[in-house]
Structure 1
Amino acid sequence: MRWNTLAAAALFAPSNVLALLRFPCGQLVIDRLDPLVTPGMAPSPHLHQIVGGNSFNATMVPEKDMPQESTCTSCQFSEDFSNYWTAILYFKAKNGTYKRVPQIQNVGFEGVKGGMTVYYMQDGLYNFQQTSKVTAFQPGFRMFIGDVNARTREEVEKFRQLTFTCLQTLSTRDPQTLDFPKQPCPAGIMTALRFPTCWDGKNLDSPDHMAHMAYPESGTFETGGPCPASHPVRMPQLFYEVIWDTKQFNNKADWPDDGSQPFVWSFGDGTGYANHGDYVFGWQDDSLQRAMDSPCYQNCPTLKSQNNAAMNACTMKRRVNEDIDGWVKVLPGGHVANYRK
């Protein structure tokens, strides 16, 4: 398994490697807020799970809110007050009711509550050298990946690397699919979200939160290809892994009679193609650039780390008061499962 190989290599990483940051972030809050796509709207149209700095709010004015306004972070590195968020996964029972699927951490990060694993890389995940130079994201930077309206393979393929893995164990990483797994997954379902890595060098954001970023000319980040002339600045590969603990929903007797898979995103997508993620930069001072320029592998001596208790203690009260733990007849925001546009 390539992932096990990566974990082993981390123990014997050569001294000349540059940064591959891989770290856990506990759950900051689960709420209907989305300051990137629907700023100022409370509640936002659908439910999200958010990690990172506790200055997260409905507006997130770049000049004010981050990182100066945060007093804690739910991520391992205490200088990282960025916010990372995705939609929530739900199970739809045969009787039509919905139940939120909880999140668990990756192997090695046990004890951190919920949340996700975050990566920043100079080179592909399975390249142990990590020798490329990258320019860290800047204060005020933000981006989005995915399409909440996508319901076909063709629509999601333009994003190149938004995938699902049916986990046989928590170390499973392949095969990866663009849609929801069609069978029960023994250890859960993992979603992987890899953001574009080429910046136009000018704009910290764009109207769709994507146009200021692009993919390398030769395909995905792992190809090592050059950035296009329109987006010449090579930035870190930002990558989320979210493990959804679907084990309690693996009884096929509870699945639809027609054999279709029962999971839906919190905005109703039952195909999985509308997988998406949001990012707002909030590293203190030049801490991320220092880390990207340092010989560190997963952990980094130039950064301050905090323990599980500190990560778990950084939480926020939900602004929108609604049932997010029980069985519900409709998804928060009034959504129902849909499989076509």
Structure 2
Amino acid sequence: MKWLPLAVALITPAQAALRFGCSTVSIQRLDPIVEPGRTPSSHLHQIVGGNAFNATMAGDIGEEGTCTTCTFTEDFSNYWTAVMFFKHTNGSYKRVPIMQNTALPNGINGGMTVYYTQQDFNSNGNQKITAFKPGFRMTVGSPTTNTLDGAKGHPGLRFVCLSDKGTRFPELPDFPTKKCKAGIMTVHHFPSCWDGKNLDSPDHQSHMANTAKEAFTPAGPCPASHPVRMPQVAYETLWDTTQFDSMWPKDGSNPFVLSYGDNKGYGTHADYLFGWKGDSLQRAMDSSCMFQACENGKPLKSQSVAAMNKCAAKQAVKENIDGWLDRLPGM
């Protein structure tokens, strides 16, 4: 048996789990990962994070921008998803407002809850987590997924019919088929095993591998092809569908649709563009804090909700996305 020095034997990696809010930085048709340089992109996105967001983003995003809509002031990453619309029986559409998660401070303007976990929802584990590198990006899911079996094949992409804002189960692979008392939550979990080489890949997914069976559960060991364990990034977005309860179709069919025309939810997807400043994310991953305990310089700098809400990205696409629309933007 090989004995380790006592000092080494007593060292156990202590890793953080982050959960924080980000208000909306922009809602527009831009996608610098899948459709770089195209203005406008094919469908509408809700974006949170740094205000440098634009149609073409490259290099160290953490060194760009002047503010962020996220709790942590060192996080200039961008996080985005498709937008949800209500489709009236007369054929018109209206964007569904976004609510803040119950675990977050009051007053956050839309946005989403972002997680960086390495074990599960309740603990932060004891393995070494490597932070993403400048230039890193990835996507999860695909708007071209059009079958229930295909949707079930993405264990981290789910919908939750909310009884209240704290509801987490059951997780559904498609839109709920009934009115939800407190709205609908969309959940997007990214894979956490990196190939250790590529900051991106042609499909924006192959450089990562998923070993989790379902959301917020401990993932299995990383495969030899993707040996580097990174934080598992996840988004939760709460949609206030309740204001449309009186307008549901009489036949009870689902009236909600994602911004690329998906009325089943099979193709729900999300994008991530890393932009933490310097070594801030690695410092957080090397600490032992959990959730709000990571704020106020322990070890990450944080800001007020008012400062988060004040930050906004430049609007590059001029089109009407509010009120009742005769078609989805871009469709």
Q: TM-score, normalised by structure 1?
A: 0.89
In structure 1, what is the Cα distance between the partners aligned to 2:121 and 2:261? 32
Q: What count of residue pairs does the alignment treat as equivalent?
A: 314
Q: Which residue of 2 aligns with 1:4?
A: none
Report what 2:120 is aligned to: 124
The answer to whether the 8 Å contact 2:117/2:124 transfers is no
Match of 1:35 in 2: 32
Q: Deviations over 1:91-116 (max 9, x none)?
A: 00111100000101111332110000
Aligned to 2:306: 309
Deviations 1:246-296 (A, max 9, x none): 110112xx2223321100000100000111000000000010010011011
Task: Work out the CA distance in 2 between the residues paired with 1:147 and 1:217.
Answer: 18
Equivalent residue in structure 2 for 1:258, among 246, 251, 258: 251
After the TM superposition, which of the residue ranges 313-322 and 268-277 deviates more from structure 2?
313-322
- SS of the residue aligned with 1:67? helix
Q: Which moved more, 1:75-84 or 1:216-225?
A: 216-225
CA positional deviation for 1:222: 2.3
What SS does the corresponding residue of 1:106 show, helix, strand or coil? coil
1:290 aligns with 2:286: no
Structure 1: 5+ residue stretches without partners: 1-15, 335-341
1:181 paired residue number: 176
Is the 2:15–2:129 Cα contact (8 Å) retained in structure 1?
Answer: no
Q: Does 1:89 align with 2:67?
A: no
**Match among 3, 7, 23 for residue 26 of structure 1:** 23
Identity %: 57
Equivalent residue, structure 2, for 1:71 = 66
Q: How far apart are 1:214 and its partner, in Å?
A: 0.4
Q: Determine if the alignment matches structure 1 residue 45 to structure 2 residue 42.
A: yes
Cα distance in 2 between the residues matched to 1:157 and 1:280? 25
Distance 1:158 1:175 in 2: 17
Contact 1:187/1:247, CA 8 A, preserved across alignment: yes
For the structure 1 residues 219 and 331, does the alpha-carbon distance in structure 2 shift closer, same or farther, using more than 3 Å as the test? closer
- The CA RMSD measured in Å over matched residues stands at 1.5
Per-residue deviation, residues 190-230 of structure 1 (Å, max 9, x unmatched) = 00000001000000000010000001287777244111111
Structure 1 CA distance, aligned partners of 2:216 and 2:290?
19
Aligned residue number for residue 54 of structure 1: 51
Q: What displacement does 1:151 show?
A: 1.6
Structure 1 CA distance, aligned partners of 2:212 and 2:112? Answer: 29
Distance 1:156 1:179 in 2: 7
Partner residue of 1:152? 147
2:185 is matched with 190
Show the counterpart of 1:170.
165
Q: Which moved more, 1:283-292 or 1:321-330?
A: 321-330
CA contact (8 A) 1:78 1:305 kept: yes
Q: In 1, are the aligned partners of 2:49 and 2:77 still within 8 Å (CA)?
A: yes
Q: What is the CA–CA distance in structure 1 between the aligned matches of 2:327 and 2:110, rounded to whole Å?
A: 23
User: Which one-letter code corresponds to 1:260 in the other structure?
Assistant: S
- Give the Cα–Cα distance (whole angstroms) in 1 for the partners of residues 224 and 152 of structure 2: 22
Equivalent residue for 2:273?
A: 280
Q: In the superposition, relative to structure 1, how do residues 68 and 223 fare at CA in structure 2: closer, same or farther (>3 Å)?
A: closer
- The one-letter amino acid paired with 1:55 is A
Q: Runs of at least 4 residues of structure 1 off by over 4 A?
A: 217-221
Q: Distance in 2 between matches of 1:282 and 1:269?
A: 30
Gaps of 5+ in 2: 1-12
Equivalent residue of 1:290, what SS? helix
The alpha-carbon deviation at position 69 of structure 1 amounts to 1.7
Structure 2: how far apart are the matches of 1:317 and 1:233? 35
